[in-house]
């Protein structure tokens, strides 16, 4: 799935739409009204629905009432992602170190095939930008298959939309510059815009547009436009560019699963700033608790293993399969996979890796995806998954996680979150999540990419304090112990923004129809561990 802060998409939508949230709540809980305070927002995923009226995971309550005075074992968590800034001030103390390897000697000391893999491995080498899988499929040519026809249709739709989005971005940038020129100042306010008196129809239009943007996005509007612009241009220049062959940079054949020794040990990649997504994911799970830096991680006794396998674009099945196996072979007990794609030509390689993880008792936590679709339908598939026929799971160690907002009620499931009664297991906080990004910075991001590590963090807690429980048991605990969703919830993006969205029974959202709750999970784990 494309790595973008989805708030940028929200900004663009705000130009023409004003959506109203349905504030109805379930009988047992009342959602907090109005905006969250900054302290609440920075750690809302740790708060408790009953106490704080915010649909967090009751992490603070778990530490205070279940884990107080207890000691857990260290749990290695594999982060299969875009890379991790292992030097970050709030992460460097929790980064995994391969004690079987001697740093910098150029020798494969542990004989695992990866030289100097001190903190993990980078299967992408110096590659940053890649195509989408649909682009690769149509680039190979029409083979008469249904997959080709589907990929071509999806590509055409996506490419046409990207061109329209580019026009919109270019127009917004030009509009902003026109206002700057008229006011003779780079930074301006609503008051400055209100002071513009003109008979020029173009300037009048520019004034109205920028007034709306400033009203919705505030003073950070230019950064939002810039971020969205980068997303759009990256789509056209890289993701949808049939001429791009980023694999040349890696120097590996993605069609040959037998060759496994490629890449390097620079786990944040050639540009640390591009490891933003993976660094954020790592922070959600493990940024040091209570050190007055940024936010708090979910788990307090983990080691983060960085496995870089997700570029700007779609990941290759080979890289993901080998990344999972690498994490398993080097001691990870939980693996977070905040990635996904619609086509998977070598899905069996990944399925086999998931089965290998199951055999080694490793839990694989995966993001449900950000298309606001029912991924039980074949046409909306999100890979990797844990079923080949949407009827029976082939492994018991995969937990697929959808995203929650911080507003309890019918709108508690984020509109971008995928859903499905078979392919989505449970929900966790995924909207406006505050965590680490490269170079000692912190940021709010949103997506099922953030929900997955929130759930993975709770899984790591269970595996730390109740290490005798299996991956299968931990998955079941997270699903069974969750807080029930409201009786009705809105699923996907509202198709008619001029009307209130139609809510569905929460049983249509996922297999469990529940939200991950750390307190409940640890209480259940305590009981189960004594049996």
The reply to whether 48 belongs to the active site is: no
| Whole-Å CA distances, 242 to 140, 236, 425 | 10, 10, 35
Q: Which of 48, 52, 60, 81 is catalytic?
A: 81
Q: In what order do the strands lie in the sheet with 514-515?
A: 120-122, 302-308, 75-81, 332-337, 363-367, 398-404, 426-429, 514-515, 483-484
Q: Given the residues 119, 277, 280, 366, select the one marked as catalytic.
A: 277
Q: Name the active-site residue from 449, 452, 481, 509.
A: 449
Cα 176 to the center of its chain, rounded Å: 31
Answer whether 489's CB lies under 8 Å from 410's CB.
Answer: yes
Contact 92, 84 (CB under 8 A): no
Is residue 277 part of the annotated active site? The answer reads yes
> Other CB atoms closer than 10 Å to residue 136's CB: what's the count?
21
Asked if 378 and 337 touch (Cβ cutoff 8 Å), the reply is no
From residue 268, alpha-carbon distances to 75, 118, 149 in Å are: 21, 13, 36
Q: 357: which 2 tokens?
A: 């993880």
Residue 112: which of 372, 365, 330 has the closest Cα?
Answer: 330
Q: Where are the beta strands (DSSP E) in 381-512?
A: 398-404, 426-429, 433-437, 441-445, 483-484, 488-489, 504-505
| Radius of gyration, CA atoms only, the chain | 23
Beta bridge partners of residue 303, listed in sequence order = 76
Q: How many CB atoms lie within 10 A of CB 175?
A: 20
Q: What does the alpha-carbon distance between residue 113 and residue 317 come to, in Å, rounded to a whole number?
A: 19
Q: What angle do CA 190, 225, 246 make, to 5 degrees?
A: 170
310 three-state secondary structure: coil
CB neighbour list of residue 416: distance below 8 Å, 6 or more residues apart: 6, 9, 370, 371, 372, 403, 446, 447, 448, 493
Is residue 280 part of the annotated active site? The answer reads: no
| 3-state SS record for 21-40 | CCCCCCCCCCCCCCCCCHHH
Instruction: Find, among 424, 264, 257, the residue nearest to 356 by Cα.
Output: 257
Active site positions, annotated = 81, 277, 449
């Amino acid at each position: 799935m494309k790595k973008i802060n989805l708030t940028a998409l929200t900004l663009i939508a705000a130009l023409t739409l004003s959506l109203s949230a349905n504030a109805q709540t379930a009988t047992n809980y009342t959602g907090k009204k109005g905006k969250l305070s900054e302290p609440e927002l920075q750690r809302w995923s740790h708060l408790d629905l009953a106490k704080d009226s915010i649909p967090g995971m009751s992490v603070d309550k778990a530490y205070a009432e279940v884990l107080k005075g207890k000691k857990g074992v260290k749990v290695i968590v594999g982060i299969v992602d875009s890379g991790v800034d292992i030097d970050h001030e709030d992460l460097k103390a929790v980064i995994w170190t391969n004690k079987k390897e001697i740093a910098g000697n150029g020798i494969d000391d542990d004989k695992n095939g990866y030289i100097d893999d001190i903190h993990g491995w980078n299967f992408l080498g110096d590659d940053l930008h890649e195509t989408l899988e649909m682009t690769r499929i149509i680039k190979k040519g029409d083979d008469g298959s249904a997959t080709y026809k589907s990929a071509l249709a999806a590509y055409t739709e996506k490419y046409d939309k990207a061109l329209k989005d580019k026009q919109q971005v270019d127009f917004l940038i030009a509009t902003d510059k026109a206002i700057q020129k008229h006011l003779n100042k780079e930074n301006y306010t609503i008051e400055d815009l209100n002071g513009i008196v003109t008979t020029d129809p173009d300037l009048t239009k520019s004034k109205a547009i920028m007034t709306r943007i400033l009203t919705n996005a505030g003073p950070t509007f230019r950064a939002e436009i810039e971020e969205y612009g980068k997303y759009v241009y990256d789509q056209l220049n890289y993701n949808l560019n049939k001429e791009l062959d980023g694999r040349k940079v890696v120097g590996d054949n993605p069609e040959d699963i037998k060759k496994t020794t490629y890449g390097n040990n620079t786990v944040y990649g050639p540009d640390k700033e591009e490891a933003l997504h993976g660094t954020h994911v790592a922070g959600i799970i493990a940024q040091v608790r209570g050190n007055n830096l940024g936010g708090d991680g979910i788990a307090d006794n983990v080691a983060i293993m960085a496995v870089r396998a997700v570029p700007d674009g779609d990941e290759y099945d080979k890289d993901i399969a080998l990344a999972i196996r690498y994490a398993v072979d080097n001691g990870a007990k939980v693996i977070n996979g905040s990635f996904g794609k619609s086509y998977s030509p070598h899905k069996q390689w990944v399925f086999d890796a998931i089965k290998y993880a199951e055999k080694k008792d490793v839990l694989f936590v995966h993001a449900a995806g950000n298309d606001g679709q029912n991924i039980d339908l074949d046409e909306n598939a999100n890979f990797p998954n844990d079923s080949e026929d949407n009827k029976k799971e082939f492994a018991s160690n995969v937990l697929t996680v959808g995203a929650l907002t911080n507003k309890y009620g019918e709108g508690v499931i984020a509109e971008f979150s995928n859903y499905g009664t078979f392919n989505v297991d449970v929900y966790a906080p995924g909207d406006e999540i505050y965590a680490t990004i490269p170079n000692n910075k912190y940021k709010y991001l949103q997506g099922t990419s953030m929900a997955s590590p929130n759930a993975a963090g709770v899984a790591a807690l269970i595996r730390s304090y109740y290490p005798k429980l299996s991956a299968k048991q931990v998955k079941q605990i997270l699903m069974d112990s969750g807080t029930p969703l409201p009786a009705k919830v809105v699923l996907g993006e509202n198709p008619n923004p001029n009307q209130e969205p139609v809510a569905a029974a929460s049983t249509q959202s996922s297999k469990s129809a529940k939200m991950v709750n750390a307190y409940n999970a640890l209480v259940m784990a305590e009981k189960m561990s004594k049996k």
